[in-house]
C-alpha cells in the first residue's frame, strides 16, 4: 500500500466529522434547490415507470438515489438529463426557471452532466483531449486549439487538486483515474449538477476513499452531486440525503445519517429481509479439493487450503488481491507456476479448463454478461452448452428436445422466471440471468463450484434467492467457493472465510467466532 | 533507435521505421540498383494510386468502419469521366471535378446506408461494391477507352534532374497529387475538429453520440472523402497507363487495406496516423522493388504481403499482452 493512503483515509474521515459537527451545531441555511422535480410521471406504453415523483437537489449537496433494478432510477435520471420527456402535468425547475421537459442539449447547457457507469470516455485519446472534448465540437474544418484545450484540462485538474499526466492515453489508465477524467470532463463543461451512475461499483476500497475526497472538493465548490447506486456503504458517510425509489414511486427522502443498511433494504424492497447466520460446526468430511503452495508469478503466492464436501468456503479480498486470478488457475484457465492442486486425494495437472470440468470443477465468472452468457441465445442454448457431449445421441447430434428438457428442469429447480426455455437470455432480469449461468454449470454435476462475485449487479431480493441455491447445493454435498468483496455476503453465507490480500491468504475466520465489523476492519485496513 | 524516433512516431510506427531501415540495408547490400535516385522516383510514382486510396481508407478505418468499395468507385468515376472527355469533349478540370464529385456522392451512399440500416460498413460496402462494378460492366459491356485526350495522358514533369549514372529522375504529377493528399489528410485528421471527432467516433461511438458529435454528418464526410479520393485515384491511374479499363482496379482492395493496417490503423477504429500509413506504403514498395531486383517471382510477392501483415499484427498483440502483464504486476505491488 502506498504510504499516502492512511493519510488520505484519515483526511476524509475528518472531513466527514467536521461536516457532521457543523450540521449539528447550526441549522442548515435555507438554500434554494438547484434542481426541483414536481409531480414527475412517465409511462412507456402500458407500464408506469415513474408516478408522481417530487424530488430536489441543493447546490453543495451530495444526494444518494437508490432503488432496486426497475424502480425507476434510470428513467428519472434520463428525464433530468433530457433523454426522456416526462408525461404532462409535471414540472422541472432548474435554478428557478420551470420547464415541462428538457432536451439533452438544453440539459447540458443548464449545467446537468451525467457520468454513466461506462464513463463514456474515448480510450484512444489523451487525457487533455477527453477532458476538453467539448471544444472540438465546433465547425468541422476549424483547427483544433490544443493550447487552450490543454490549459482547460490543467485548470480543471488543479481545481480538484488532482494530478494526471495530460498526455497519457486514457485506455491505459486505471478505472479510478478514468473516472477522474470523466469528472473533469463534466467540470470542463461547466457542470452545476453532476449525476454519477454506480460510481463505486468497479473501484477498490482505496479508490473509493480517494473518490470521496474529490467529491468533497466538488461539494465545497458548490456543485450538486447525485450518486445513483445499489451499494452505498461508503458513500453514505459523505451524503446529506438519500432518496429511495420503489416501483416508480418515491418511497422516502431521508437524512443520510438516519438510515442504515437494514432500513434501506426495507425501504427498497418494501419488506424486511434478515440474514440468517449459518450454524457453524460442519462435521469433518474428506477434502475434495486441496491447494498446496499454489502460486503464479506476479499474481498470487503460497496459497494453501483444503475444501470439504458440502462446505461453503468464502474467499474475501479486494479487487487486485489475486482472488480472481486464483479462481482462474483452479479452473485451468491459467497455469500455476508453483505448487499443486489435489482433487479427491490425487494430484491434478490442469492443462486447460477441459481438465477442470472433467474432474468436476465448475466456475461462474465475475462478469456474467461478458463471459458467462451468450445474451442473444435462448435459455436452452446457454444452459446446455457445457454438456453437449453428454446430450448427444449415438450419431453425435444433439436432439433439440433433450436440450429443452434439460433447460426446463433447471428453470424449475432454480426458479428462473421466464416465459419459456426458448426465450433469449437478454430478455431476463439480472437475477434470472445469473441463475441461467448457474444452471449451465450445475448441469455438469460439479463436485466443486467456484462462484466469483456471484451477486454483482443483482438486487437485494434476487441475492437472497441465489444464496438459497448455494445453501441447497451445499446440503446436497457440493463443495462451494464464494469469492467476494462484500462483507455481509461472505459473513452470512459461508462456513469458513479465507482473507486474501496482495496475492496471499493472510488469515482464516469462522463466522461464528468473529463479528461482521471485525472482518470488515481486517479487509479494509 | 526507438527512443531516437520517439518524437516523430509513436510506438508501433517507430518499430515499422526500424523494420524499413533494416530491409533497406539488406537490399542495398545485395543489389546495386536498389535505391538509386531514378529507381526510387519510379517506385514512388508506381505507388501513388495505392497511397491516395490508402489515405482515404485510413480515414474510414479510424472512424471505426471499413470501406472496400473504393476500387469499384474509382473504376466507375474513371469511366464516366473518360466518356465525358472523349465523347463530349469536356475539358480537364471539369472532368476531374466530375470524377471526384461522383466518387464523393457514391461514398455518401455508403455512409447513408451504414447509418440508417445500422449495419457494419464492411457488409454495406461489399454490396455496393458489387453493385457499382456490375452496373459498370453491364452498361459498358466491359469495353475499354484508349483514345483519352492529350491533357489526360501527357506526362506532366515538375522537376527533372540527371543522376550521376546518367539516368533521369523526375518529379511527376502523380507524385505531387500523392504528396498533397497525404498532407491534406494528415492536417484533416490531426489538426481539425472533424478529424478529432473521427478519432473519437472510432474510439467509442456511444460516447461520441453522448457528447453531441453528429454521427451522420461525420460519416458522410468520412465515406465521402474516401469516395472523392477514389475519383482522384481513378484519374491518376488512367493518367499513368494512358487508358481506361473497367477491370484495371479490380483486386487492389486488399493491398490498399493491407497498407493501412500495416501502418498501424486498427480494424476496430480510433487508431493510426497518416505518417504510419505512409510508412506502410514505403515498406511494401521497398519489399516489392527489392525482391523484384533480386529476381524473385512477382507471384511470391503476395506471400510477402501476407507475411508482413501477420508479423505486424503479432508484434502489436504480443507487446500489448506484455504491457498488460507488466501493469498487472505493478498493481499487485502497489496494493
Q: Where are the domains of chain A?
A: 11-111+192-203+221-272, 286-360+446-525, 373-445
Mean pLDDT score, A84-100: 91
- The percentage of chain A sitting over the pLDDT mark of 70, rounded to a whole number, equals 88
Predicted pLDDT of residue A416: 83
DSSP code at position B143: -
Q: A26 — phi, psi (to 5°)?
A: -125, 145
pLDDT in tens, A418-471: 778 888 888 887 778 888 888 888 888 889 999 988 877 677 777 778 888 888
SS3 category, A138: coil
B145: confidence class by pLDDT, cuts 50, 70, 90: very high
A44-58, A69-83, A258-272, A288-302: least confidently modelled range: A258-272
Res. B322: pLDDT tops 50: yes
Chain B residues inside the 8 Å CB shell of A140: 192-194, 197, 217-218, 221
Mean pLDDT score, A116-140: 92
A24: confidence class by pLDDT, cuts 50, 70, 90: very low
Common-topology check for domains A11-111+192-203+221-272 and A286-360+446-525: yes
Mean pLDDT score, B10-23: 78
Query: Alpha-carbon torsion A483, A485, A488, A489, what sign?
Result: negative
- Most confident stretch, A198-202, A342-346, B195-199: B195-199
Closest by CA position to A127, among listed A168, A78, A155: A168
Question: Which residues is A226 bridged to in the sheet?
Answer: A63, A195
Question: Which residues is B239 bridged to in the sheet?
Answer: none
Look over chain A and give the mean of its residue pLDDT values, rounded to a whole number.
83
Nearest to B196 among A118, A136, A502 (CB): A136
Predicted pLDDT of residue B12: 67
In the numeric block, which cell numbers belong to residue A28? 442548515
Rounded-to-integer distance, Cα B223 and Cα B207, Å? 21
Higher pLDDT, A257 or A38: A38
Nearest to A125 among B200, B329, B334 (CB): B200
A108-112, A411-415, B160-164, B286-290: least confidently modelled range: B160-164
Higher pLDDT, A159 or A6: A159
Predicted pLDDT of residue A62: 92
Res. B107: pLDDT tops 90: yes
Contact A124 B335 (CB under 8 A): no
Minimal CA separation from B71 to chain A, in Å: 27
Q: Where are the domains of chain B?
A: 2-334
Rounded-to-integer distance, Cα B116 and Cα A342, Å? 57
A8: confidence class by pLDDT, cuts 50, 70, 90: very low
Query: Alpha-carbon torsion B179, B185, B187, B190, what sign?
Result: negative
Closest by CA position to A352, among listed A330, A319, A372: A330
Q: Which residue of A has its CA nearest to B213?
A: A137
A232: confidence class by pLDDT, cuts 50, 70, 90: low
In the numeric block, which cell numbers belong to residue B46? 508506381
Chain B residues inside the 8 Å CB shell of A144: 191-193, 195-196
Structural Rg of chain A based on CA atoms: 25
Predicted pLDDT of residue A264: 77
Higher pLDDT, A103 or A396: A103
Q: Is A323 on the interface with B (CB under 8 A)?
A: no
Chain A residues inside the 8 Å CB shell of B202: 124
Contact (CB, 8 A) for A295 and A303:
yes
In the numeric block, which cell numbers belong to residue B172? 511527376
Closest by CA position to A28, among listed A277, A256, A364: A256
Contact (CB, 8 A) for A179 and A213:
no
A259: confidence class by pLDDT, cuts 50, 70, 90: confident
pLDDT in tens, A350-396: 888 888 888 899 888 766 655 677 878 888 888 888 888 778 888 87
Q: How many helices (H) and strands (E) does chain A have?
A: 18, 20
Mean pLDDT score, B244-254: 88
Res. B9: pLDDT tops 80: no
Chain A residues inside the 8 Å CB shell of B189: none
Is A286-360+446-525 a domain of CATH 3.30.230.10?
Answer: no
In our burial notation (b when 16+ CB lie closer than 10 A, e otherwise), range A21-30 reads eeeeeeeeee
Question: Which residues is A224 bridged to in the sheet?
Answer: A193
Q: Is B192 on the interface with A (CB under 8 A)?
A: yes
Predicted pLDDT of residue A3: 44
Contact A322 B332 (CB under 8 A): yes
In the numeric block, which cell numbers belong to residue A193? 449538477
CATH of domain A11-111+192-203+221-272: 3.40.50.300
Res. A155: pLDDT tops 80: yes
Higher pLDDT, A222 or A68: A222
Higher pLDDT, A275 or A183: A183
Res. B324: pLDDT tops 70: no
A13-17, A284-288, A316-320, B217-221: least confidently modelled range: A13-17
Neighbours of A204 (CB within 10 A): 20
Question: For the whole model, what pTM was predicted?
Answer: 0.76
Predicted pLDDT of residue A412: 85
- The percentage of chain B sitting over the pLDDT mark of 90, rounded to a whole number, equals 53
Minimal CA separation from A140 to chain B, in Å: 4
Helix (H) or strand (E) holding B158: strand B157-162
Half-sphere exposure of B252 (CA within 13 A, CB side): 26
Mean pLDDT score, A1-11: 46
Res. A25: pLDDT tops 90: no
Higher pLDDT, A189 or A513: A189
State the residue for C-alpha cell 487450503: A305
Contact (CB, 8 A) for B89 and B74:
no
Predicted pLDDT of residue A85: 92
Mean pLDDT score, B233-242: 95
Predicted pLDDT of residue B330: 41
Rounded-to-integer distance, Cα B91 and Cα A167, Å? 50
Query: Chains A, B: CB contacts under 8 A, how many?
Result: 92
Q: Is A122 on the interface with B (CB under 8 A)?
A: yes
Q: Is B205 on the interface with A (CB under 8 A)?
A: no
Chain B residues inside the 8 Å CB shell of A501: 335
Minimal CA separation from B184 to chain A, in Å: 12
- Most confident stretch, A231-240, B162-171, B254-263: B254-263
Strands A112-115 and B157-162, bridge-based pairing: unpaired
Q: Is B150 on the interface with A (CB under 8 A)?
A: no
Mean pLDDT score, B169-186: 94
Predicted pLDDT of residue B2: 44
Rounded-to-integer distance, Cα B145 and Cα B97, Å? 19
Q: Is A125 on the interface with B (CB under 8 A)?
A: yes
Rounded-to-integer distance, Cα B280 and Cα B256, Å? 10
Mean pLDDT score, A494-506: 90
Nearest to B332 among A2, A108, A298 (CB): A298
Res. A33: pLDDT tops 70: yes
Q: Is B208 on the interface with A (CB under 8 A)?
A: yes
Helix (H) or strand (E) holding A358: helix A353-358
Chain B residues inside the 8 Å CB shell of A503: 332
Mean pLDDT score, A162-176: 90
Amino acid at each position: 500500500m502506498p504510504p499516502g493512503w492512511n493519510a488520505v483515509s484519515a483526511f476524509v474521515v475528518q472531513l466527514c466529522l467536521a461536516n457532521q459537527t457543523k450540521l449539528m451545531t447550526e441549522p442548515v441555511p435555507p438554500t434554494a434547490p438547484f434542481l426541483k422535480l414536481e409531480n414527475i410521471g412517465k409511462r412507456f406504453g402500458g407500464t408506469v415507470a415513474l408516478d408522481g415523483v417530487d424530488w430536489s437537489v441543493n447546490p453543495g449537496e451530495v444526494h444518494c438515489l437508490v432503488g432496486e433494478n426497475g424502480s425507476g432510477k434510470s428513467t428519472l435520471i434520463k428525464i433530468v438529463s433530457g433523454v426522456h420527456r416526462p408525461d404532462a402535468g409535471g414540472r422541472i425547475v432548474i435554478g428557478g426557471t420551470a420547464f415541462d421537459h428538457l432536451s439533452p442539449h438544453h440539459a447540458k447547457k443548464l449545467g446537468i452532466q451525467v457520468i454513466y457507469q461506462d464513463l463514456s470516455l474515448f480510450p484512444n485519446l489523451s487525457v487533455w483531449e477527453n477532458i476538453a472534448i467539448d471544444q472540438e465540437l465546433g465547425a468541422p474544418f476549424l483547427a483544433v486549439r490544443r493550447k487552450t484545450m490543454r490549459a482547460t484540462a490543467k485548470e480543471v485538474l488543479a481545481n480538484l487538486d488532482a494530478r494526471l499526466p495530460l498526455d497519457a492515453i486514457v485506455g491505459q489508465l486505471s478505472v479510478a483515474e478514468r473516472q477522474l477524467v470523466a469528472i473533469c470532463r463534466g467540470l470542463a463543461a461547466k457542470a452545476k449538477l453532476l449525476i454519477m451512475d454506480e460510481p463505486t461499483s468497479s473501484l477498490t476500497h482505496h479508490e473509493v476513499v480517494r473518490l470521496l475526497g474529490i467529491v468533497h472538493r466538488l461539494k465545497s465548490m458548490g456543485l450538486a452531486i447525485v450518486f445513483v447506486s445499489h451499494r452505498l456503504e461508503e458513500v453514505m458517510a459523505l451524503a446529506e440525503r438519500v432518496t429511495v425509489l420503489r416501483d416508480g414511486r418515491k418511497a422516502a427522502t431521508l437524512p443520510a445519517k438516519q438510515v442504515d443498511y437494514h432500513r434501506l433494504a426495507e425501504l427498497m424492497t418494501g419488506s424486511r429481509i434478515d440474514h440468517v447466520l449459518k450454524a457453524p460446526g460442519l462435521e469433518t468430511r474428506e477434502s475434495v479439493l486441496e491447494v498446496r503452495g499454489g502460486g503464479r508469478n506476479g499474481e498470487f503466492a503460497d496459497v494453501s487450503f483444503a475444501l470439504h464436501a458440502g462446505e461453503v468456503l468464502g474467499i474475501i479480498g479486494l479487487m487486485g488481491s489475486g482472488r480472481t486470478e486464483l479462481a482462474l488457475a483452479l479452473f485451468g484457465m491459467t497455469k500455476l507456476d508453483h505448487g499443486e492442486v489435489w482433487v479427491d486425494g490425487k494430484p491434478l495437472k490442469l492443462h486447460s479448463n477441459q481438465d477442470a470440468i472433467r474432474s468436476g470443477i465448475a466456475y461462474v465468472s465475475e462478469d456474467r454478461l461478458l463471459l458467462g452468457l451468450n445474451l442473444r441465445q435462448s435459455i436452452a442454448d446457454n444452459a446446455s452448452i457445457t454438456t453437449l457431449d453428454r446430450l448427444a445421441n449415438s450419431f453425435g447430434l444433439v436432439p433439440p428436445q433433450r436440450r429443452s428438457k434439460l433447460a426446463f428442469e433447471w428453470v424449475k429447480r432454480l426458479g428462473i422466471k421466464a416465459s419459456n426455455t426458448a426465450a433469449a437470455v437478454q430478455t431476463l432480469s439480472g437475477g434470472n440471468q445469473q441463475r441461467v449461468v448457474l444452471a449451465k454449470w450445475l448441469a455438469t454435476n460439479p463436485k466443486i463450484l467456484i462462484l466469483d462475485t456471484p451477486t454483482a449487479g443483482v438486487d437485494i431480493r434476487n441475492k437472497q434467492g441465489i444464496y438459497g441455491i448455494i445453501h441447497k447445493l451445499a446440503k446436497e454435498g457440493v463443495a462451494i467457493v464464494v469469492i467476494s468483496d462484500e462483507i455481509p455476503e461472505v459473513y452470512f453465507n459461508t462456513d469458513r472465510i479465507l482473507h486474501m490480500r496482495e496475492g496471499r491468504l493472510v488469515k482464516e475466520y469462522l463466522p461464528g467466532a468473529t463479528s461482521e465489523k471485525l472482518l470488515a476492519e481486517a479487509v479494509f485496513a | 533507435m526507438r527512443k531516437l524516433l520517439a518524437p516523430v512516431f509513436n510506438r508501433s510506427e517507430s518499430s515499422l521505421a526500424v523494420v524499413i531501415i533494416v530491409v533497406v540495408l539488406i537490399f542495398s547490400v545485395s543489389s546495386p540498383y536498389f535505391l538509386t535516385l531514378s529507381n526510387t522516383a519510379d517506385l514512388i510514382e508506381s505507388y501513388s494510386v495505392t497511397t491516395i486510396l490508402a489515405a482515404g481508407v485510413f480515414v474510414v478505418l479510424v472512424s471505426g468502419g471499413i470501406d472496400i468499395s473504393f476500387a469499384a468507385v474509382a473504376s466507375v468515376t474513371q469511366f464516366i469521366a473518360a466518356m465525358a472527355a472523349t465523347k463530349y469533349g469536356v475539358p480537364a478540370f471539369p472532368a476531374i471535378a466530375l470524377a471526384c464529385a461522383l466518387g464523393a456522392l457514391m461514398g455518401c451512399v455508403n455512409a447513408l446506408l451504414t447509418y440508417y440500416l445500422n449495419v457494419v460498413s464492411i457488409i454495406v460496402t461489399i454490396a455496393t461494391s458489387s453493385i457499382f462494378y456490375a452496373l459498370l460492366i453491364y452498361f459498358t459491356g466491359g469495353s475499354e477507352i484508349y483514345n483519352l485526350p492529350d491533357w489526360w495522358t501527357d506526362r506532366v514533369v515538375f522537376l527533372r534532374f540527371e543522376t550521376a549514372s546518367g539516368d533521369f529522375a523526375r518529379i511527376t504529377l502523380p507524385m505531387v497529387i500523392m504528396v498533397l493528399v497525404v498532407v491534406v489528410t494528415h492536417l484533416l485528421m490531426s489538426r481539425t475538429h472533424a478529424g478529432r471527432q473521427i478519432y473519437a467516433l472510432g474510439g467509442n461511438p456511444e460516447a461520441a453520440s453522448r457528447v453531441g458529435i453528429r454521427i451522420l454528418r461525420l460519416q458522410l464526410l468520412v465515406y465521402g472523402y474516401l469516395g472523392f479520393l477514389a475519383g482522384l485515384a481513378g484519374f491518376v491511374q488512367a493518367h499513368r497507363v494512358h487508358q481506361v479499363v473497367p477491370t484495371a482496379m479490380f483486386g487492389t482492395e486488399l493491398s490498399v487495406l493491407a497498407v493501412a493496417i500495416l501502418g498501424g490503423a486498427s480494424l476496430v477504429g480510433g487508431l493510426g496516423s497518416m505518417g504510419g500509413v505512409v510508412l506502410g506504403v514505403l515498406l511494401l514498395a521497398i519489399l516489392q522493388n527489392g525482391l523484384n531486383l533480386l529476381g524473385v517471382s512477382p507471384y511470391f510477392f503476395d506471400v510477402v504481403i501476407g507475411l508482413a501483415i501477420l508479423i505486424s499484427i503479432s508484434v502489436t498483440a504480443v507487446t500489448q499482452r506484455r504491457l498488460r502483464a507488466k501493469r498487472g504486476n505493478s498493481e499487485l505491488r502497489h496494493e
